[in-house]
Structure 1
Amino acid sequence: MQHSQPSTIVNLQHVSKGFADGGQYHQVLHQLNLSIHTSETVALTGPSGSGKSTLLNIIGGFEYADDGQLQLLGQSTQTWGDSEWSQFRRQSLGVVFQQFNLLTPLNVRDNILFPLSLLGRGWNDWCDYLLEKLGIEALQNRAVEQLSGGQQQRVAIARALAHQPALLLADEPTGNLDAVAGEEVMQLLVKLAADAGTAILMVTHSDTAAQYMTRRWHLEQGQIHE
């Protein structure tokens, strides 16, 4: 099931990012260096406003760094335009948000199928495996707005992993769940990402969630400490 890919999924070199806020300039990332390798799982913690979501957005191409180099799957993104970014996101990236961000007109099955349809691929054995492991087989024809938060997050995980991406970015994936549902979601996320050969970078405020990752980075004052 796993795809051959460069062993370094993400490599940041001297990446900086700041924001102008009124007359003030806030530096959130300062000369950041980091790398994430195949199948690695990393928790990213840090105070609110320290730039954790900004870092995720830069890696996903939703925001751009002011300075420095970002390489994804061994390629420099320096010259990437919209089409290269779209291709990377479609083929190699899964994203799980705190808000679930499911496609509400679609049922569970069609939400999971959506990333595959963008690649011209159909439902397959891996999708059945995801449904089974996530315990949502019986829900596949249900409208997503009829699901509980925990169920919606399970659907979001299945959708993010349906195309077996090289990298999964997760932003507070247990933030809207109670403790029990949050633990269940983390166990499933880690197991299924490992089965898919997918690396995880997860922003979290939860110590419990962070403990499921093999590495832990703390972002503060623009720098990462491991």
Structure 2
Amino acid sequence: MTDQIVQLQGITKEFIDGGVGHKVLDRLDLLLTQGDTIALTGVSGSGKSTLLNLIAGFERPNIGSLSLLNEETTAWNDRNWSHFRQVSLGVVFQQFNLLTPLNVEDNIAFPLRLNGLDWNSWCDHLVERLSLKPLLMRHVETLSGGQQQRVAIARALAHKPRLLLADEPTGNLDQVASLEVMKLLCELAGEQSTSILMVTHSMECAEFMQRRWNLDNGQIHE
């Protein structure tokens, strides 16, 4: 039986602006299973980043049920959410969000230390595949955009998460660098059967995913 990584049932999310409600997700259902790789597209403002934030626990739905790793999250407290993000979730942000006081090695090792883990052969493999070995002692603010993006991917995968959420992970890169990063991201995630839900405006990047979902009027269309 395939493990269910994310299941949303009847999720509605509304924001209030000037006393007026704006519904971005409307009774949305979706299912993401282990090893699925999915590109999420949609026009700006359609709720793509909101959906990622709900799955990561950074925001809460108004109504509906969200299950992660076959566990319903309605009763989760901050400690439950922190544990999920620490152990089972990797995130690649559009702006990288690297820890600028630290060098490359310490950035990659950060999620390991949160889990009481040491640098290991998987980290060596990530560093080798992402061509980061010569950069390990460099501070991240001295790196190019493409180099920082590869560090962000290594950090997100270092603790072997069950789920990777990526919000426009190649949005700051040129086309050649974007396709190179996508190829490596998919190969590395595939080695651990990590599920990927990736927001993107790039059809070239979306083609690297097994499936494509479009978010329109608060609903997922495949």
Q: Which runs of 5+ in 2 are unaligned?
A: none
Q: How many Å apart are 1:36 and its aligned residue?
A: 0.4
Matched, 1:197 2:190: no
Deviation string 1:8-28 (CA, Å, 9 cap, x unpaired) is 000000000010111321100
Q: Report 1:138-157 matches (<5 A).
A: 138-157=134-153
Query: Which of the residues 41, 55, 70 maps onto 2:66?
Result: 70
- Paired position in structure 2 for 1:41: 37
Q: Which runs of 5+ in 1 are unaligned?
A: none
- Paired position in structure 2 for 1:25: 21
Query: Which of the residues 144, 147, 163 maps onto 2:159?
Result: 163
Alpha-carbon contact 1:6-1:73 (below 8 Å) kept: no
> % of aligned pairs identical?
63
- TM-score by structure 2 length? 0.99
Alpha-carbon contact 1:6-1:74 (below 8 Å) kept: no
Query: Which of the residues 86, 93, 98 maps onto 1:97?
Result: 93
Distance 2:7 2:19 in 1: 33
Query: Which of the residues 178, 184, 205 maps onto 1:188?
Result: 184
Helix, strand or coil for the counterpart of 1:114?
Answer: helix
Deviation string 1:115-142 (CA, Å, 9 cap, x unpaired) is 0000000100000000000011110110
Residue-pair matches, total? 222
Q: How many Å apart are 1:197 and its aligned residue?
A: 1.6
Helix, strand or coil for the counterpart of 1:154?
Answer: helix
- TM-score by structure 1 length? 0.97
Distance 2:210 2:167 in 1: 17
Q: Quick one: which amino acid aligns to residue 24 of structure 1?
A: V
